[in-house]
Every structure is written in structure tokens, then in C-alpha cells.
Structure 1
Amino acid sequence: MAEDIKVIVFSLGEEEYGIEVEKVKTVERLMPITRVPKTPPFIKGVVNLRGVVVPVIDLRGRFGLAETEATEATRIIVVNSGEMEVGFIVDRANDVTDIGSDQIELPPEVVGGIQAKYLRGVAKTEGGRLLVMLNLSEVLNKSELVQLEQMEA
């Protein structure tokens, strides 16, 4: 019997993505972001989240997708990545759903223009939805994490 994984579903454009619930700390409305010099363009800066400085990454920029204007639906999904928290800007946070671990297939080389290394797989849900599951350890690679940790300090 396959184990069910709870995932938070979010959107970038028309594509739907998933992150395991246990890796997500909170989902927040977009808030003022303080720019940090000398960081890659997809790192938007930092936010103060209840007294904790959290680096914020634009997932569209990270994946090389065209950036769009923020809307009322834009959210920051704060995840735990190793020892630190990182916020991802997404177009919409849609819902929470259960996915059987046997429903996740290896990703094709490119999904919606995003390289496979950023993806854990593609899940087919019972409702016929395709969810692109993120590989958080690749979305934030080691050298970028070091850079983000220095930002926090």
C-alpha cells in the first residue's frame, strides 16, 4: 500500500506545483521585501516574519520563467530548507491535497520550461490534475544556501 503524502498545491502561471506539507512552515500574503545587494536576480531580498529574517526567492525567476506583477493572490510559501527558512514567491497557493507516493513519476527532462533537476517528479492525482513536485534541495543549491545564510546574519 502506497503511503499518502500531503502537499500544498501552488501555481506559477498555468502550471501547478506541490511541496510536501511537512516542509512548509507557513503561507503568507506578499509583504514588503527589503532588497539585498550582490545577490542573484531571483533572490528578491528578505522579509521580517514575526521577528525572523527570511530570505525570499521568486520561483518564477529561479526557474527562468517570465516575471509577472504581483496580484492579490500572490503568496510567499515559507519552507524549511536544512537549518534555515526560505520564502518562495508564487502566483497562487491553491489547496492541500493527498498524493499517493506511487502516483509520483520521474520528471521528464523539461516541464513547462523548468529543468528536471529542480523537480522531484510529476504526480497524477485522482482528479486528473498533474502536479509538478519540487525538489527543494535543488531549488536551493548549497552555494546559494551559504549566500542566504550570510544574508540572515
Structure 2
Amino acid sequence: MAESLFVPENSSRKEIYDSLIPQIEALVSGEDDFIANLSNIAAALKQTFNFFWVGFYLRKNNQLVLGPFQGSIACTRIDFDKGVCGHAYTTQQTVLVPDVDAFPGHIACASESRSEIVLPAFDVNQEVFLVLDVDSNKLDDFHEEDREGLEKLMRIIEKLARTNY
């Protein structure tokens, strides 16, 4: 597949996710390097939606450690009980934050971040092995269509991890 994306103009986010998810599946299907695939997924999300920051934190020992990302310099390590990423990790649930300043314990890696969504991915033992962190510089930028679209993406990542991580 060519390393380019087709994104329908003037479409809803749901329609964009519906178009993007199969393209990401095709993009990663021929590559067996998990980190390379995460890198392209982060780039595809950033390019498609122009989010402020998109990246992955991988479980390593007793922390979440920065993995592939697109955006400004980020926090390198996050404890499991800290911030939105730690909350998604420990609760094993998607966390949607309309206003990061109102989230208790938010870690301000970048002051421009205003809203955030973080999603966990599960290994074969149903343990969280990474989280996808997406930040926007707009308040209340993430909604149910983002949750649904990104959760579909996480199922692709989980499938990739079973064979290539």
C-alpha cells in the first residue's frame, strides 16, 4: 500500500474514522515490526485529525514508558497511578477528559493540551500492555465517535501485538 491516506473532506468524525480504520489495517498488515506500526498509526491519527499530540505509552516494569508519538516533547515515564494515562491503565477503561485542568492529578506535559482521550490495549492475558494518548489544544474536543473509532483501532493494535510484540 502507498504510504498515503484518503480522508473524505467535509465529513463527520465518525465517517472519517470509518474511512481511516481500514486504511490503517492495510498499512500495518504487511509489516511485522510492532514499533514501526505504532509509529505509522500515530502519524496517521495526527495527519488525519490534526490533533495536538498522539502517542503510545508502553508498560515496562512498573511504569508507562513513552513509545512512538507525533507532537511536541512528552513526559518520558508515567507511574501507573498518575495522570490520565495512569488512570486508563489502572481502571482498564477509556478515559475521556473534556477539560484537563479539571482532571484531578492531570500531568501537564504540555501546557497547550486542553482535552484528552486515553485508551488501553490488552494482551492475551487481558492485561493492559500500552495506552494510546491523544491530546487536543481545544476544550471538549473528544466525544463518543472518537471513543468508538479509537477503540476499533485498539483492537487492531491488540491483534498486531499478539503476533509481532
- After TM superposition, is the score higher than 0.5? no
Give the structure with the higher percent helix: 2
Give the structure with the higher percent strand: 1
Q: What's the TM-score, normalizing by structure 2?
A: 0.30
- Highest RCO, 1 vs 2 (Cα 8 Å, sep ≥ 6): 1
